[in-house]
Structure 1
Amino acid sequence: MKKALKIIGIILVVVIILIAFNYSKLNIMSGYSAKNMSSSVFVAGRAPAFTDSTDNGFAPINFARDYVNLEDKYATASVYGFMTRKAVFRKGLGSVLIDDDYDTTKETSIPFRSNIARMTPYPYGNMKQKDTTFTNVDYKKIENAVNYAFAKVNGEDVKKARAVLVLYKDQIIAEQYAKGFNKDSKILGWSMTKSLISTMYGVLQYQGKLNVQDKAPIEAWKNDERNNITIHNLLQMNSGLEWEENYETISDVTKMLFLAKDMTAAQADKPLAGKINETWNYSSGTSNLLSGILRKQFDTHQEYLNFPYVEFIDKIGMHSMLIEADMEENYVGSSYGWATPRDWAKFGLLYLHRGDWNGTRIFDDSWVDYITKPTPTSKGRYGGHFWLNAGGFHPDVPKDMYSANGYQGQRIYIIPSKDLVVVRFGLVGKKGTDFNKFLSEICNAIE
């Protein structure tokens, strides 16, 4: 008996040591699970069981156990009962992971939305698109490319595609969804949200309310070398600021997304780790810093919340779009934009048409040239919060292609020379998808 108790005691000590050693990791695991569950259920309208088996069904997140309260609209998660985290839904602001100090009874602001039904065909209205056949399109090749994006390998769904749309000359020429998804399913764009933040700056610059070449208005930088960082440097991810973007461990990005109350402050607190305008470093903290700078451009918080919807998102009919906010009601510009695949495709079309939306100008034509200019030291991979093919990363795809990219293979590809927008959503498996092959087959189908 004493021997058994001794063994149990040793096991308990080991467990306690392991928990203490991995305390921060458990915090983030529970936080990811709770936040993803809350958003999936209350923003996207999915079932908790579906979310557990798919979006939260990978290691180590699948060690967390979730509870969803449908009436009060919140979700909690813990890892074997340890480190319980809670995420609550707020109307107009989406779900947010909260801490113990957060007052769930306080009234939150709601962005103004305009959902005017336009009695014209998609993409410029709410009606069914016109039946159009293009003689220069090889539809069989398009079909094969889309099927490739969904194809199983040895019977296993390793590509995990959820939605693929191909638009040519404003027309959907191919559209396919995985089981459980359709044209009305809201899907998280993850880092595609960064390109939304960039667009907000393009709109403000077009309206004459700021110049991206101005210095970033960060009070903490006024008395050191960081004072020379411009908004332009931040948009190009070329500020020289220290940042670790690693989702596999406890890093700057995971601490920001799953622990921070004010996500706009995470990057602002970092020192320089390289030379300004000479050190490209991909940083979600930079995108949230830009969201914080954006907030400073308005006299009131309500104006800040209204701005992206009134001046951009709802103007082009992306009515399903919702950008989630942190505990301080700052838009999480790095990661948390939700919309249907068709609405995400409208965003691509806006750029394909260089800021003109069916006669309404959203941003200046020159903004497209700006965001597609390669960031120094990025080897032609990155521009103004958009990914580029200028360096030939996709060797069999036109070099004028650029894209909004998100975690797990969320993509909006804009290919001006082919008059194409290609949208892909899903959860990339270990083998993933060969995007160069996928895109080249689509491009080759257009004569």
Structure 2
Amino acid sequence: MKRTTFLASFLFLHLHSAHAQYDVFEPQREMIHLGVQAVLTCNGLFTSNRTIEQINAQELKYIPGKFGIEPSKSVHIDKDIRGVAISNESGVTIRAIFRDGIGCVVLRPDQDFSVADTLPRIDLAPAPKDYATTPWPMGDATAEYQFKSATQKQAMDAVADWAFNTPTDEQDTLSLVIVHRGNIMLERYAEGVNRDTKTRTWSTAKSVFATLAGIKIDRKEMAVTSSLNLEWSPQLANPEADPRHKITLGNALQMSSGLYPVDSFNMEYANGSGLAYWAGESSAAGAVNRGLVREPGTFWDYENYDTLLATMSFKNTFDSVAQYHQFPSRELFNKLGMYNTLVSTDQYGDFIFSSQMYTTARDLARFGMLYVNGGKWFGEQIISPQWLAYSTTPAPASATRGYDYGAQWWLRKADKNNGPAKAFTTRGNRGQFVVVIPEKELVIVRRGLDYGKQGFNPWELADKVLEALDK
């Protein structure tokens, strides 16, 4: 009897251990790995206008640390169609194709470059002809900043030196722009990068989307207390009774939808939004295909799909896809002089506002200035002070984190955690930060191509800038 019990226990432990070691998601991880390389290479070449040598040295340096394997050497670049195909030894190929106004769109493994003309594109208004000579911030002509003392200038230069030469090689700063009282105080770029270089914002795009949602909310076309009002999948026999209708726009913006997590717990590059980002899946179809596991608003969980759910709700306020596609540039970017900014879509035309936006450091500085100015831009109230306060007030479910998250903005903890933070920032993978400190009339933009453990601290940078400002 004892021997039988021992044998049963042995077999259970052995089989359980074997099961735990086998990754059934490995084929998807391999596909996503190829897609990351395809998208980063494609956008590096055709959106950022960087060389393949620069891309291999910086954009793709991220891949080994994230996947544990080197980028594939099987790379096909079609300069005429502006596409990139990456293959592995198993014969799987993932392709990405550049589209005007969007950047590179990733395809499913069963698609090739012949589908290029079926993919969406967005006709964006070009920058005004006099953009280069128009004074900042509506143009690129800047006056030399008047430092109050030589000591202050030296201190600010020392901050830039620190930002570009952090102690770890895994932090790779591309650009640093500091705007004080509406004027560019400091601007520095790494070799191979300049003020016109558009790079991926990663999750900094989330804060930009929150601003667009705020415009709609100010116009009473959306409400944070209203249901997302989406068609959920799988559809229940009685769709009206679906408990997911309890999820509000505010819940999604505050990362507390209560839906089953798919990007957390080391699964971001195996399923979930990873399949939309890197493998040609529909970002909308994946976002609505999750079950409710917690009461909405009670549990904070950082999910790209929460932002994409809010984006779908936003899309449903438009009468046409054309209006939806033109809204970001027409109602925000062009008004701020952000003519070097584009937002990517998936191949189905849905904005991937959780991550895939390409822009310059200067355009992000313009965006930060809108928040320093209380939502007003040259006399026009683009977003209301009420929306700005909502965005930067800690989400109730972020209590377990120390109240460091609002509505798609990261916070420097607010006084008593019950009101708008005095300093807040965007936070994008690989070191994308737009730090906003309204009471100091200060915007700090740091762009990077960090890899490995990363860990660039925007608040440490902010403290150094504040210290230098007082010199």
Q: Which residue of 2 aligns with 1:15?
A: none
Structure 2 counterpart of 1:368, which letter? L
The one-letter code matched in structure 2 to 1:113 is: A
AA aligned opposite 1:381: D
How far does the alpha carbon of each residue in 1:345-395 deviate from its partner, in whole angstroms, 9 at most, with x for none?
101111111211122221112111010010112131111111111169xxx
The answer as to 2:227 corresponding to 1:215 is: yes
Match of residue 414, structure 1, among 415, 419, 436: 436
1:370 alignment partner in structure 2: 390
- Classify the secondary structure of the residue corresponding to 2:92: strand
Q: Is structure 2 residue 459 aligned with structure 1 residue 445?
A: no
Say which SS state the counterpart of residue 406 (structure 1) adopts: coil
Matched, 1:433 2:453: no
Secondary structure at the aligned position of 1:176 is classed as: strand
Q: Deviations over 1:157-213 (max 9, x none)?
A: 332111111111111111111111111111211001111111111111223322232
Q: What residue number does 2:404 align with? A: 381
Over 3 Å counting, the alpha-carbon distance change for 1:427 and 1:295 in structure 2 is: same
The separation in 2 between residues aligned to 1:19 and 1:49, in whole angstroms, is: 34
Percent identical among aligned pairs is: 26
Task: Report the Cα offset of residue 414 of structure 1.
Answer: 0.3
1:10 aligns with none
Q: Against the structure 1 CA distance between its residues 164 and 178, is the aligned structure 2 distance closer, same or farther, given a 3 Å change threshold? A: same
**In structure 2, C-alpha distance between the alignment counterparts of 1:195 and 1:185, rounded to whole Å:** 21
Match of 2:4 in 1: none
For the Cα contact (< 8 Å) 1:38–1:89, is it kept in 2? Answer: yes
Contact 2:175 2:447 in 1 (8 A): yes
1:137-173 Cα offsets, whole Å, 9 max, x none, are 82222221211111154xx733211111111111111
- Is it true that 1:122 corresponds to 2:136 in the alignment? yes
The partner residue of 1:300 within 320, 339, 350 is: 320
- Is 1:390 matched with 2:418? no
Structure-2 separation of matches of 1:326 and 1:167 = 33
Distance 2:159 2:80 in 1: 43
The equivalent of 2:17 in structure 1 is: none
Alpha-carbon contact 1:265-1:289 (below 8 Å) kept: no
CA distance, structure 1, for counterparts of residue 421 and residue 153 of structure 2: 23
- Where structure 2 has 5 or more consecutive residues not aligned to the other structure, the ranges are 1-21, 233-238
Provide, for residues 393-422 of structure 1, a one-character-per-residue CA deviation record: whole Å limited to 9, x for no partner: xxxxx9511011100111000011221100
Q: For the residues of structure 2 that align with 1:198 and 1:21, how far apart are their CA atoms?
A: 32
**Aligned to 1:266, what secondary structure does the other structure show?**
helix
The change in CA–CA distance for 1:414 and 1:190 in structure 2 (over 3 A counts) is same
Residues 136-215 of structure 1 aligned to structure 2 (within 5 Å): 138-151=152-165, 153=167, 157-215=169-227
RMSD between aligned alpha carbons?
A: 2.4
| Cα offsets for 1:94-127 (capped at 9, x unmatched) | 1111122573332634244253345542113332
1:374/1:21 CA distance change after superposition, 3 Å: closer
How many Å apart are 1:252 and its aligned residue? 2.0
TM-aligned CA distance change 1:48 to 1:196, over 3 Å: same
Are 1:403 and 2:429 an aligned pair? no
SS in structure 1 opposite 2:136?
A: coil
Q: Say if 1:243 and 1:267, in contact at 8 Å, map to a contact too.
A: no
Check 1:109–1:399 CA distance in 2 against 1; reply closer, same or farther (3 A cut).
closer
Pick aligned residue for 2:79 from 63, 67, 70: 70
In the alignment, does 2:98 pair up with 1:98? no
C-alpha separation in 1, matches of 2:100 and 2:89: 31
Helix, strand or coil for the counterpart of 1:278? Answer: coil
User: C-alpha distance in 1, partners of 2:302/2:24?
Assistant: 31
1:14 is matched with none
- Tell me, in whole angstroms, the C-alpha distance in 2 between the residues paired with 1:431 and 1:263: 27
Runs ≥4 residues deviating over 6 A:
18-21
CA contact (8 A) 1:277 1:376 kept: yes
Q: CA deviation at 1:271?
A: 0.9
Contact 2:390 2:407 in 1 (8 A): yes
Q: Give the letter for the 2:440 counterpart.
A: K
Name which of structure 1's ranges 26-35 and 263-272 shifts more when overlaid on structure 2: 263-272
What is the alpha-carbon distance in structure 2 between the residues aligned to residue 368 and residue 147 of structure 1? 33
1:226-262 alpha-carbon deviations (Å, 9 max, x no partner): 1111111111111111123246651423233223532
Question: Any idea what SS the aligned residue of 1:445 has?
Answer: helix
Which residue matches 1:133?
147
Report if aligned partners of 1:109, 1:302 keep a CA contact under 8 Å in 2. no
> Which segment drifts farther, 321-330 or 207-216?
207-216
Residue 234 (structure 1) aligned to one of 247, 252, 255: 252
Give yes or no for contact 1:48–1:68 (8 Å, CA) kept in 2: no
Other-structure match for 1:269: 289
Query: Map of 1:69-88 to 2, 5 A cutoff?
Result: 69-80=78-89, 82-88=91-97
- Structure 2 contact 203–428 (Cα < 8 Å) conserved: yes
Between the two proteins, the alignment pairs up a number of residues equal to 423
Counterparts of 1:438 and 1:432 in 2: how far apart (Å)? 12
SS at match of 1:383: coil
Aligned partner (choices 101, 110, 122) of residue 122 of structure 2: 110
Equivalent residue number for residue 339 of structure 1: 359
Deviation string, structure 1 residues 289-343 (Cα, Å, up to 9, x no partner)? 2222222111111010001110111111100001011010111111111111111
SS at match of 1:164: strand
Q: So what's the TM-score if we normalise by structure 2?
A: 0.84
User: What TM-score do the two structures reach when normalised by structure 1?
Assistant: 0.88
Asked whether the 8 Å contact 1:264–1:330 carries over to 2, the reply is: yes
Q: Determine the structure 2 residue equivalent to 1:284.
A: 304
Unaligned 5+ residue runs, structure 1?
1-17, 393-397
